[in-house]
Copies of this chain bind each other. A is one copy, B any other.
Amino acid sequence: MARLPVYLRALHALQDRGVATVSSEELAAAAGVNSAKLRKDLSHLGSYGTRGVGYEVEYLVYQISRELGLTQDWVVAIIGVGNLGRALAGYGGFASRGFRVAGLLDADEQIVGQEISGLTVRHIDRLEDVIGEHGVSIAVIATPAAAAQGVCDRVVAAGVTSVLNFAPVVLTVPEWVDVRKVDLSIELQILAFHEQRKAGGPDGASGLNGRPAAVPGDRPEPVHYVEAAE
Contact with B along A66-89 (1 / 0, CB 8 A): 111110101010000001101110
Task: Kindly list chain B residues whose C-beta atoms are within 8 Å of the C-beta of A32.
Answer: 170
User: On chain A, which size bracket covers the interface?
Assistant: 35 or more
CB pair B93–A189 under 8 Å, yes or no, is no
CB pair B195–A161 under 8 Å, yes or no, is yes
Residue of B nearest to A95 (CB): B185
Task: Kindly list chain B residues whose C-beta atoms are within 8 Å of the C-beta of A209.
Answer: 176
- Given A146-B229, A176-B209, A185-B93, are A68 and B6 neighbors across the interface (CB < 8 Å)? no
Contact with B along A210-225 (1 / 0, CB 8 A): 1100010111111111
A95-B188 Cα distance, complex, nearest whole Å: 11
The smallest C-beta distance from A116 to any residue of chain B, in angstroms, reads 10
CB pair B230–A144 under 8 Å, yes or no, is yes
Task: Kindly list chain B residues whose C-beta atoms are within 8 Å of the C-beta of A84.
Answer: 87, 91
CB pair A211–B74 under 8 Å, yes or no, is no
CB pair B83–A189 under 8 Å, yes or no, is no
The smallest C-beta distance from A155 to any residue of chain B, in angstroms, reads 12
CB pair B6–A186 under 8 Å, yes or no, is yes
A184-B165 Cα distance, complex, nearest whole Å: 11
CB pair A145–B226 under 8 Å, yes or no, is yes
Task: Kindly list chain B residues whose C-beta atoms are within 8 Å of the C-beta of A192.
Answer: 68-70, 74, 98-99, 138, 162
A-B pairs, 5 with minimum CB distance: A69-B196, A144-B229, A87-B87, A93-B185, A176-B211
CB pair B90–A83 under 8 Å, yes or no, is yes
CB pair B188–A74 under 8 Å, yes or no, is yes
The smallest C-beta distance from A69 to any residue of chain B, in angstroms, reads 3
CB pair A190–B198 under 8 Å, yes or no, is no
A9 CB-CB contact with B under 8 Å: yes
CB pair A30–B195 under 8 Å, yes or no, is no
The smallest C-beta distance from A99 to any residue of chain B, in angstroms, reads 5
CB pair A187–B174 under 8 Å, yes or no, is no
